[in-house]
Chain A
């Protein structure tokens, strides 16, 4: 059975891109445009891995990460941001991987593959 990936990003086109790419890779993809929606989906339709943006309109991605880990400590989370500076924020260390956004999704795909392999 294909692993289910939840993409959390406030940019609609990013969501569309990731959905298309990850679907093409054989994953089942759910998308959330806000942190709140992501947390709701976590309860109602939990994914196998979450790709989480950090700078979002409604809620800071790092606080969403804390909430996710509070509820589902074993939920793999890949932080995906245009900013590299959050790597220095210890709150980001809760994540299982940190991938900087790029038009080349190879690194993101590799991380997802590694984390969903088990």
Chain B
């Protein structure tokens, strides 16, 4: 076992070993003197301390024993030095010292040649410790890894402006092995109206069995976090997960001021909650969701206030949550909050842009309408003046024709011709009256029009007039329809003209009905034939003349009516529905 080959020299004691003078006590590094037979001849105090030997511990006597202790290939390196006569070095080798401390050192072997000999009989073995650098390197690697994760998540978050995508990315990153590696992650958002935390999304297995199934199915093909997120974003539907469905049913209300989750939210500091009593109450409030012994919670906050929390646990593996895990979770939370804020700003911006676009479209439409109205107003004004200028000569022509008719001894042909002149004058006067009504209506503003009331007005106006022609006109029981936004006088004029024309063209004994109804959301006013004594074919033929431009001698009045209805978003037409002919005025949905 450990038998001292030689007494360990005290400090500053010069030793001569087989003609080799050596003062190891003064040597500035931990060092040993070893002979060609692998016996440790000397070990300085620094070396004893470094390797955690003290007087109470047994001493090593051979390099074989040193190898057993450190698991370093010391003898091979030393042999090489002895054989070549040149120094050799075991670079940055990790080992465990006598007390079990993990260390790293470079071990240098220098062959020694005694003064009186040319044979290399001893070897100096010096230890250059690099444990601290090693630890720093390890820390650096961890920080690099953390930064890499954050950077990859940032890159993914930067690639989307949809909140749903953001939630998905961050939850995948928190739970992916290449990310934070939590078993499960939950996202709760603050309900501003109630102050409650509302479950939004969650990811992770429900239990160990499901975890085994899911994790086993995940291929390990060396993808980095960015690749994993990209792949999962396209392949995982959070909505399909039990845990996601369950969390969306949860609303957490602050139970008391010391409520730990709300403490995280309000004080804006992440925390690992391990309070068994609190976690058990949380489990009771959330069903099976929160059953782990530790729960990491990080707040999501932005300039605008607290947005919610991200929670994560290791319920399946039971792995403890480290400070580093929590720090990273908070970093993720910060990234997420920024991304959410950015997405919300973008959504607001988009909504404003859409509103502006809509306003712009409306403005363009209004401008076109104004231009049209201006044109029509101008036309209306001109029509109005011309119509009046025509009235005086018509009055004179028709009036004198009338006088002529009554002249004594006038030949019958002259009387007949004079009557024709009178009749045509009356017809032109009627057209002028329609033209005047039409032009007058364009000076009106648009308003909400009650079509049921409008139909009743038309019936009131037209009934006595058509009754004189022997035509019966009835307002039928109707359903109430929604109002339309239009120029009331124009629509009234249009509908009135249609009904009046129909009445004028109808033979005595004809009966018509006027009704209002809604057809697939379109308000419609319809004129339908009632119990008529005249043949159906004749009635239908009469009604078909109301397809625009086919009214023959009455086309000017119908054109004006059609224009007035069309200008107000309506449509004048004829149709057969369920074998029932209808003249209709319909408006958009």
CB contacts (< 8 Å) of B440 on chain A: these are 85
Q: Check B403 against A84 for contact (C-beta < 8 Å).
A: no
Q: Closest approach, in angstroms, between the C-beta of A33 and any C-beta of chain B?
A: 14
Inter-chain contacts of B401 with A (CB < 8 A)? 103
Given contacts A102-B429, A103-B426, A103-B429, contact A14 B436 (CB under 8 A): no
Which chain A residues in 78-107 approach chain B with CB under 8 Å?
82-85, 100-105
Closest chain-B Cβ to A88's Cβ sits at a distance in Å of: 10
- Residues of chain B within 8 A (CB-CB) of A21 are 399, 402-403
Give the B-binding residues of A (Cβ under 8 A). 11, 13-14, 17, 20-21, 24, 82-85, 100-105
Q: Do A103 and B388 have beta carbons less than 8 Å apart? A: no
Q: Across the two chains, which residue of chain B brings its CB closest to A9?
A: B392
Residue numbers in B under 8 Å from A82 (CB-CB):
388-389, 391-392, 395
Given contacts A14-B396, A82-B391, contact A103 B403 (CB under 8 A): no
Interface residues of B in 397-453 (CB under 8 A from A): 397-403, 406, 422, 425-426, 429, 436, 440
Query: Roughly how many angstroms separate A14 CA and B399 CA in the complex, as a whole number?
Result: 9
Cβ contact of B399, chosen from A83, A84, A100, A105, cutoff 8 A = A105
Q: Which residues of A contact B89 (CB under 8 A)?
A: none
Chain A hits for B486, CB < 8 A: none
**CB < 8 Å: which of B388, B395, B400 contacts A102?**
B395
Give B518 Cβ to nearest chain A Cβ, in Å: 36
B residues less than 8 Å from A24 (CB atoms): 403, 406
**B interface, over-half SS:** helix
- Given the complex of chains A and B, what is the CA–CA distance between A82 and B388 in angstroms? 6
Contacts of B398 in A (CB 8 A): 102-104
Whole-angstrom distance between the alpha carbons of A31 and B399 in the complex?
17
Of the A-B pairs whose beta carbons lie under 8 Å apart in the complex, a sample of 21, sorted by A's number, is: A13-B396, A13-B400, A14-B392, A14-B396, A17-B403, A21-B402, A21-B403, A24-B403, A82-B388, A82-B389, A82-B391, A82-B395, A84-B436, A85-B440, A101-B391, A101-B392, A102-B429, A103-B397, A103-B399, A103-B429, A104-B398
State the Cβ distance, A108 to closest chain B Cβ, in Å: 10
B394 within 8 A of A: yes
Provide the bound-state CA to CA distance between A11 and B399, in Å: 14
Pick the most buried of B389, B400, B406: most chain A CB atoms within 10 A of its CB.
Answer: B400
Given contacts A85-B440, A103-B402, 14 further A-B contacts (CB under 8 A): A11-B396, A14-B396, A17-B395, A17-B400, A21-B402, A82-B389, A82-B395, A84-B436, A100-B391, A102-B429, A103-B399, A104-B426, A105-B399, A105-B402
A21 to B405, CA, bound (A): 12
Cβ contact within 8 Å between A103 and B394: yes
Complex Cα gap A17–B389 (Å): 17
The closest CB in chain A to the CB of B406 belongs to: A24
Q: How far apart sit A35 and B394, CA to CA, in the bound complex (Å)?
A: 23
In the complex, how many angstroms separate the beta carbon of B438 from the nearest chain A beta carbon? 13
Inter-chain contact B396/A17, CB cutoff 8 Å: yes
Please name the residue on chain B nearest to A84 by beta carbon.
Answer: B436
Interface pair B395/A14, CB less than 8 Å apart: yes
> What distance in Å separates the Cβ of B535 from its nearest Cβ neighbour in chain A?
34
Residues of B within 8 A of A85 (CB): 440
Bound-complex Cα distance A84 to B391 (A): 11
Shortest distance between the CB of B427 and any CB in chain A (Å): 10
CB-based nearest A residue for B389: A82
Please pick, from B389, B406, B425, B436, the residue contacting A103 in the complex, using a CB distance under 8 A.
Answer: B425
Report B76 CB to chain A, min CB distance, Å. 121
Find out whether the CB atom of A17 lies under 8 angstroms from the CB atom of B399.
yes
- A13–B429 Cα gap in the complex (Å)? 18
Q: A82 to B432: give the CA distance in the assembly, Å.
A: 11
CA distance in complex: A101, B399 (Å): 10
- Give the most central of A20, A82, A103: most B CB within 10 Å: A103
Cα-based distance from A84 to B426 in the complex (angstroms): 17
Q: Which A residues are in CB contact (< 8 Å) with B436?
A: 84
Least Cβ–Cβ distance between B422 and chain A, in angstroms: 6
B429 touches A11 (CB 8 A): no
Distance A101 CA – B275 CA, assembled complex (angstroms): 99
Rounded to whole Å, the gap between the CB of B144 and the closest CB of chain A is 88
Please give, as numbers and ranges, the residues of chain B lying within 8 Å of A101 by CB-CB distance. 391-392, 395
Closest chain-B Cβ to A80's Cβ sits at a distance in Å of 9
Task: Give the shortest distance, in Å, between B208 (CB) and chain A (any CB).
Answer: 89
**How far, in angstroms, from A17 to B402 measured CA to CA in the complex?**
10
- Given A103-B425, A103-B426, A103-B429, A20:B392 Cβ within 8 A: no
Residues of B contacting A104 with CB < 8 Å? 398, 402, 422, 426
A11 to B396, CA, bound (A): 9
Instruction: Give Cα A55 to B506, complex, Å.
Output: 38
How far is the CB of A25 from the nearest CB of chain B, in Å?
Answer: 11
CB distance from B406 to the nearest CB of A (A): 7
Contacts of A11 in B (CB 8 A): 392, 396
Find chain A residues with CB under 8 A from B392 CB.
11, 14, 82, 101
Which residues of chain A come closer than 8 Å to B388, judged between CB atoms?
82-83
List the A residue with the shortest CB-CB distance to B425: A103
CA distance A100 to B406 in the complex (A): 23
Chain B positions 280-338 with a Cβ under 8 Å from a chain A Cβ = none
Q: Inside 8 A of A102's CB, which chain B residues have their CB?
A: 391, 395, 398, 429
Distance in angstroms between the alpha carbons of A83 and B384 in the assembled complex: 9
State in angstroms the CA–CA spacing of A64 and B395 once bound together: 23
Q: How far is the CA of A103 from the CA of B429 in the complex (A)?
A: 8
Minimum CB–CB distance for A42 against chain B, Å: 24
Inter-chain contact B403/A20, CB cutoff 8 Å: yes
Neighbouring B residues of A14 by C-beta, 8 Å: 392, 395-396
- Contact residue among A13, A83, A100, A103 (Cβ-Cβ distance under 8 Å from B422): A103
Contacts of B403 in A (CB 8 A): 17, 20-21, 24
Closest chain B residue to A101, Cβ basis: B395
Most chain A CB within a 10 A radius of its CB, from B399, B401, B425, B436: B399
Q: Which 7 A-B pairs have the closest CB atoms?
A: A103-B398, A82-B391, A17-B399, A103-B425, A13-B396, A82-B388, A101-B395
A20 to B407, CA, bound (A): 11
Min distance, Cβ B33 to any Cβ of chain A, angstroms? 128
Q: How far apart sit A90 and B208, CA to CA, in the bound complex (Å)? A: 92
Of A13, A82, A100, A104, most B-chain CB atoms within 10 Å: A82
Q: What CA separation (Å) do A42 and B279 show in the bound complex? A: 109
Complex: chain A residue closest to B423, CB-CB: A103
Min distance, Cβ A86 to any Cβ of chain B, angstroms: 11
**Interchain nearest-CB distance for A36 vs B (Å):** 21
